[in-house]
Structure 1
């Protein structure tokens, strides 16, 4: 009887030990599930970081456009309106302003914006709109200003493309990057030299610019007939 009890106890000890080992073998599998979950979380976080929208700011704009100008050498764009088309050649010597214009063109920012300010025999100014979709485009690209680049010797001859200053308190004449103006006066508007950055010129289709400059306006210099545009890179 005693011998049978000892055998029974011994069998119970062996069974108990085997059960313990089986539980330990299952643990790495549970651990693998945890690791897999952690990996998925890490991957999701990486994708979220990649998908995070890049926004231009006053702090990063110059560095960004410095590098952008090296990789993107395009310098000719075609502006199309219902009055016809004209071609702008952007100056290589004003790299930040050229790069900014090319970047915004590639983002499709200008498409659907207006020549919103027309001053007879002086300028037409474009790149703005009273529509929310344009405001949202700006929001998605970023809020920033560009420093003036007025010492390259470019003057505001007729056909010169230049960048207006921001409307904010702006003693340093920082440029509003979403807008541009074209000189229509003959031979030019030289009183603007030194205050505004000339970064391109109309090389074809100046008669179209003159048509827009002849549009009737309200007291705020906004054309009574919306003069919308699209811009594409051609070279």
Structure 2
């Protein structure tokens, strides 16, 4: 074999060797890419699972859309219920009516959530009503955010009237032609024998059965021009009692 042929042969061998090396390198890169894709897929799956777990752990919040269904189910099987309200001027006990289910369930739910604790009787109208369940503190605003924003439908056809000692629910200050109730507040009638002009517009959902003298004492406190008590009257605690 001539020297020229040997040179050609060597060149051809070098070309073939280089091609083999390039093929091996490309194959290896594809394997790594697939492995990376596989890892990303697993990571995405883990992230998705974590997202589901976070979603499952998010606290329940009441809204206009879910409140009625929630309280319809919540009130099932609730016994006749009494709530003791302890204030900075003494305590009284309210018995809730069984056949006003949404308002009863709402009051029990808020009581068990501790909403009324550290709120106030923020409106006192002499010889008429005391109104509670609100406060100008951050704690109350935070509780409302956590529980939710919703209203309750009126339930005025059960025959209950606004006798003295009746606990009822005010309508919302929002644009509210249907007199939907503001769920976080309540008022108690102190008028003798009652304030019957309220019938049909507001929903009585219980009555004071013990401690009406404390309700009267609250109603006798001095107030400013806006019916806000001159000295804060706190609801220290609301609790379910037998």
Deviations 1:27-72 (A, max 9, x none): 9987875565344223311121112232222221111110111154
Q: Within 5 Å, give how 1:108-147 maps onto structure 2.
A: 108-147=114-153
How many correspondences in the alignment? 235
- Aligned partners of 1:74 and 1:57: how far apart in 2? 26
- Aligned partners of 2:41 and 2:75: how far apart in 1? 44
Say whether residues 1:228 and 2:239 are aligned partners.
Answer: no
Greater CA deviation, 83-92 or 44-53? Answer: 44-53
**Structure (1 or 2) with the larger CA radius of gyration:** 2
Tell me the C-alpha RMSD between the 2 structures.
2.9
- Aligned partners of 1:43 and 1:80: how far apart in 2? 46
Deviations 1:177-205 (A, max 9, x none): 10000011111111111110000111111
With the length of structure 2 as denominator, give the TM-score of the two structures.
0.82
Structure 1 unaligned runs (5+)?
A: 1-22
Which residue, 143, 157, 174 being the options, matches 1:168? 174
Deviations 1:48-98 (A, max 9, x none): 111223222222111111011115446211100121111111111100001
SS at match of 1:70: coil
Say whether residues 1:185 and 2:191 are aligned partners.
Answer: yes
Confirm or deny: 8 A CA contact 1:74 1:233 kept in the other structure: no
